[in-house]
A and B are shown apart, each in its own frame.
Chain A
């Protein structure tokens, strides 16, 4: 119906162009260093060692998270596990604990934990819910008719699961595992306490000593390449459309009887939740107890206030700017809208450290007035959290089908009136949950806040980071507690989002 509203097109294009800044920076820094110097800086033992460290960590974390997430999802969704309703939120809740708080919790309990093993353990515990959530959703959605059909064709229950169910979980499993990989590649804060070197920690060291140096930039190039390899791998293998034949809602599945396996299953889940949630929470509580009332300083209050302010600003900016692209992709699906959307997804695969590096370099050289200001920080948040906002907005917009908008037009309402009276009210829950997700992500964002924020900006995350850096675990505890408290609702939002996607 007519063309796309020009204001939205302009905004969408602008956002897509800004999203390209980090990738542009990476390309530019290779060109700037010159091919020979770039080659010399990339092909050296130090980079090799970092690549081995980072690669092993990422691969192990992806593998462990995929296994753990799938097993948990199967137990919760498909078996007679006692208290299944309770387990779902408990298995999502680790996402509300920032990885650097999980690492702080474990180091407090086991001071000797470090190296590859420790890093893998902590990354897996922090991020396995990213696999659990989509796989759980996929398992819930599956029509039991397929498995029944396989059984009636003479396959055993196990074989039916392997040959019929697992292939259908593939998109969810690969998608979730990719996210774990991207998070691990861009993780930074958690490795400080673990004394484990990856690309991110090395780039940050370079950044602190020599600002934006060619050596640091080349490390960023390799890191971004790793991320793009992951994204394209998922794109190549994971996006097979699973068509549902026939209509009507699938019947509910008959759960697998656990029987004598109930006790080991429950024990296993208790261990997982204890490790991912119990350890960090009890460490925080322990250190709070040690510190007593003296740790609740005015610094805590002011950090909380500025964190909340920053989170609100990020939520507002990101949601408003995520709307045009989302709207155009849903309502005016053309080549350029799809490209604009993909660009922002790919751009968000760039680690926050590289986004920080890119924005620092660009602002220092070309837009000095906004260097180290809230404006730059908010642009950084926008690039990092755009897809997080776009997913729920798109889901919300899908509630308002095109026929509803056409019905409104046929009832004499203009395009603007239709947007106001039909589209926005229907998309409101999605928009609200987008804003909430961005707010929560921004409140615990460490890396880009450290690099882009104005001098003297103290948020919960940066204060926590600098205090744990000087091993002042007691003083760090209130910041950790507040971050967890602020992030707790994320559990509910993510669960709800996965159910809504399932309802489509």
Chain B
């Protein structure tokens, strides 16, 4: 059953086309991410779903009920949709308790059990109830905002980059905590983000948006491993795109012969490899003495959990590829000669921006 269905949504601001024929569905109880660079229209889309903006064309259904369509308009307060914005939008004149209780009825407020439940759900201490928003950390504010949005038990929760304003250290913790809270209440969730790692780890379903259009819609693995075009490939992760000659399921590239999936016809094309598929070993032999792909490290950045190196191929100096080596790879520095081995298969992607 679909909890949210967006069909053919267009929206322009003046001459700027913010959304262009956007359609996608989200299954009940699942988690979707709208992923795209800033300015791609993802926040506009979220605001249309919430009922803060009207699209020029197209429709939105929540739980199979049309809430936005031509001639149909359900006010935001009548939609059973929770909304958490980038900075939480806690009411500064109300305490934490006042914020969480904001949407509760008088008897519910007096009873107090719902507030206690919500606090427990987002792991906040009851001692925080009397504080004002400015006395909370960013992570706490976002948790209060989520508790407030959950108070009326919405069927659908919209999160507009709710972790973007948080410190890196806090971001992952807050994200996991909110994901757990939403899962516990079985709320269908749509997350807007420009952070591919966040989208891939948070969502069951990723919708990639660019310039107001849906580029790709699918599971996180599908989007990462089988992107529909070169732009999407590079946007959802570091990408190594190399030209190839395709012949009978094998791609002949500067990095050697690599099997590919997809069954494209023979001919010229571009294949995608991820940097973690390129295994480097230090090469000490003479060039040409072994049947290996040889390259020279031209730059590298040590990032703690792994090392990212740029390697220029010896035989084709115009080709430079990115390689990810787990660990600190202490043997590696600029100028190190390496042998490159491709792990796994490649994916054929259409050229350019599509």
| A interface residues, Cβ below 8 angstroms from B | 1-2, 399, 401, 403-404, 406-414, 421-422, 425-426
Contact = CB atoms under 8 A, between A and B. Distances in A.
Contacts of B51: 1, 409
Interface in B52-98: 52-53, 75-79, 81-83, 85, 87, 89, 91-93
A60 B351 CA distance: 71
A403 B76 contact: no
A426 B92 CA distance: 8
A404 B91 contact: yes
B77 A410 contact: yes
22 contacts: A1-B52, A1-B53, A1-B76, A404-B91, A404-B92, A407-B89, A407-B91, A407-B148, A408-B91, A409-B76, A410-B50, A410-B76, A411-B102, A411-B148, A411-B149, A411-B152, A412-B77, A412-B78, A412-B152, A413-B103, A421-B102, A426-B93
Contacts of B93: 425-426
A336 B87 CA distance: 31
Nearest to A414: B77
A411 to B, nearest CB: 4
Contacts of B76: 1, 406, 409-410
Contact of A410 (B53, B87, B149): B149
B77 A403 contact: no
A419 to B, nearest CB: 13
A408 B92 CA distance: 13
A432 to B, nearest CB: 14
Contacts of B103: 411-413
Given A406-B52, A412-B77, A413-B77, 16 more contacts: A1-B52, A399-B92, A403-B87, A403-B89, A404-B91, A408-B102, A409-B51, A410-B76, A410-B81, A410-B149, A411-B103, A411-B149, A412-B78, A414-B75, A422-B91, A426-B93
Q: Majority SS of interface residues in chain A?
A: helix
Interface of B: 50-53, 75-79, 81-83, 85, 87, 89, 91-93, 102-103, 145, 148-149, 151-152
B29 to A, nearest CB: 20
A401 B148 contact: no
Contacts of A403: 85, 87, 89
A409 B52 contact: yes
Contacts of B91: 404, 407-408, 422, 426
Q: Majority SS of interface residues in chain B?
A: loop
Contacts of A404: 89, 91-92
Q: Which 5 A/B pairs are nearest by Cβ-Cβ distance?
A: A411-B103, A410-B83, A403-B89, A409-B76, A407-B89
Contacts of B145: 407
A406 B78 CA distance: 13
A410 B102 contact: no
Contact of B83 (A2, A407, A414): A407
Nearest to B151: A411
A407 B81 CA distance: 11
A426 B81 CA distance: 25
Nearest to A429: B93
B50 A406 contact: yes
A406 B75 CA distance: 11
A411 B98 CA distance: 13
Nearest to A413: B77
Question: Of residues A2, A406, A409, A412, which shows the largest number of chain B Cβ atoms within 10 Å of its Cβ?
Answer: A412
A422 B91 CA distance: 7
A407 B159 CA distance: 12
Question: Of residues A408, A409, A425, which shows the largest number of chain B Cβ atoms within 10 Å of its Cβ?
Answer: A409
Given A1-B52, A406-B52, A409-B77, A401 B152 contact: no
A410 B83 CA distance: 6
Contacts of B53: 1
Contacts of B87: 403
A406 B149 contact: no
A408 B91 CA distance: 9
Contacts of A411: 77, 102-103, 148-149, 151-152
Contacts of A407: 83, 85, 89, 91, 145, 148
Question: Of residues B51, B91, B103, B148, which shows the largest number of chain A Cβ atoms within 10 Å of its Cβ?
Answer: B91
Contacts of A425: 93
A404 B145 CA distance: 11
Contacts of A414: 75, 77
A413 B52 CA distance: 13
A329 to B, nearest CB: 20
A411 B76 CA distance: 9
Contacts of B102: 408, 411, 413, 421
Contacts of B151: 411
A406 B89 contact: yes
A422 B93 CA distance: 8
B92 to A, nearest CB: 7
Contacts of A399: 92
Nearest to B154: A410
Contacts of B52: 1, 406, 409
A404 B85 CA distance: 9
A142 B92 CA distance: 27
A332 to B, nearest CB: 13
Nearest to B98: A421
A167 B69 CA distance: 52
Contacts of B89: 401, 403-404, 406-407
Contacts of B85: 403, 406-407
